[in-house]
């Protein structure tokens, strides 16, 4: 049976390609293996092109960031969100500022409120060492 298939493939100038090796009896087909491999790689590359990759951009603030600087950071965050990227808002604390974590949380929530038309909160503000961070994701 296998010998007949191999002989038939050689006569036609094709390859014997095993499709389902675990089946009983194993399933094979005749074809040009190089061509099939090439078409498979083309399909995979087309699928990769259609994928959209989301990156995480970061906006860093301090609890005492002034109004104008805050507006610049907000503008950057909005631009990142409109481009389809996630935004990580980081508030850094130094020295005695650690005693006023509520100010940092207010900063994070203020950015979330100012971007609520184009973003949603993915991760709520939480502390990690001397930094508080929050992640915003673009709305679908």
| All residues at 6 or more sequence positions from 102 whose CB lies less than 8 Å from its CB, including other chains | none
Q: Are residues 38 and 77 in the same domain?
A: no
> In degrees, to the nearest 5, what angle opens at C-alpha 133 toward C-alphas 127 and 135?
135
Q: What is the pLDDT of residue 133?
A: 92
Q: What is the pLDDT of residue 2?
A: 80
Phi-psi region of 95 (alpha: psi -120 to 50; beta: other; left: phi over 0): left
Q: Are residues 131 and 98 in the same domain?
A: yes
Q: Are residues 17 and 84 in the same domain?
A: no
DSSP code at position 26: P
Q: Are residues 64 and 129 in the same domain?
A: yes
Q: Are residues 62 and 129 in the same domain?
A: yes
- The CATH number of the domain holding residue 74 is 3.30.110.10
> How many domains does the structure of the chain reveal?
2
pLDDT along the chain (140 residues), means of 10: 85 89 87 90 89 86 92 94 92 91 91 92 92 91
| pTM beyond 0.75 | no
Residue 32 sits in which domain range?
2-49
Q: Are residues 116 and 67 in the same domain?
A: yes
């Amino acid at each position: 049976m296998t010998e007949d298939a191999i002989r038939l493939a050689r006569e036609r100038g094709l390859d014997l390609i095993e499709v389902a090796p675990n089946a009983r009896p194993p399933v094979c087909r005749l074809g040009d293996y190089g061509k099939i491999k090439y078409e498979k790689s083309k399909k995979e590359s087309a699928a990769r092109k259609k994928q959209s990759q989301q990156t995480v951009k970061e906006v860093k603030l301090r609890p005492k960031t002034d109004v104008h600087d805050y507006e610049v950071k907000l503008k950057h965050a909005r631009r990142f969100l409109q481009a389809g990227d996630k935004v990580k808002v980081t508030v850094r604390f130094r020295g005695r500022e650690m005693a006023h974590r509520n100010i940092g949380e207010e900063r994070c929530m203020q950015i979330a409120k100012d971007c609520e038309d184009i973003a949603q909160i993915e991760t709520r503000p939480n502390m990690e060492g001397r930094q508080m961070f929050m992640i915003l994701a673009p709305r679908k």
